[in-house]
Amino acid sequence: MSLVPEPTEQETIAAKRPHDIFLSNLIGNHILVFTAIATFGPSYIQYMVLVPLFSFAALAYTYYRSGQVKREDSEFVWAHWQVARRWSKFFFVMLLLLVTVSTLGWLGKTYLGMMKEAVYAMIGGLGILPTLVSVLVLIVIESDSLHHARVGTLPKWALRRFLGIETEPTQD
């Protein structure tokens, strides 16, 4: 499937790492930790700020580490870090949207006298809902990328974008 040389076992393990980090952030942090905090009710709602903080830390590490991986060492590993970096950028923008909408909601309630229900609707509809949808979509995308790393391949779009390799069209 791929025109890249067959990766070694160490390269396969190294290529899985960025996808493992990203999926752990999405599933462990944004689904499990978020649900656990939300389950305890309003008395623990202030701990909800931990979810984006942990997420920003994981995204920053992925972004930093993807810049440190050298293409000369292994194009396969480098390309997988770049795939994770691409989706990390997208998710970072989604988290910034959530933080922006939440801040605007707080400002609206504090300084403009908006009703609590209107602020909840604004934050839920314009901030939390798009973030949760992107989490679910990114789980599917990153699971596919993790599978590619396990079997020693790259998605066709990643071959084209990061390695400049055009794949042959398949005849169906």
Residue-range domain boundaries for the chain: 9-155
How does pLDDT run across 22-73, given as a tens digit for each residue? 999 999 999 999 999 999 988 998 998 899 899 999 999 999 999 999 988 8
Alpha helices in 32-158 (DSSP H): 34-39, 50-68, 75-111, 116-123, 129-151, 156-158
Band of pLDDT at residue 4, cut at 50, 70 and 90: low
Q: What is the pTM of this model?
A: 0.86
pLDDT value of residue 163: 81
Band of pLDDT at residue 159, cut at 50, 70 and 90: confident
Other C-beta atoms closer than 10 Å to the C-beta of 163 total 18
Cα(94)–Cα(62) distance, integer angstroms = 16
Specify the amino acid at residue 61: Y
Whether the Cβ atoms of residue 62 and residue 88 lie closer than 8 Å to each other? yes
pLDDT value of residue 85: 96
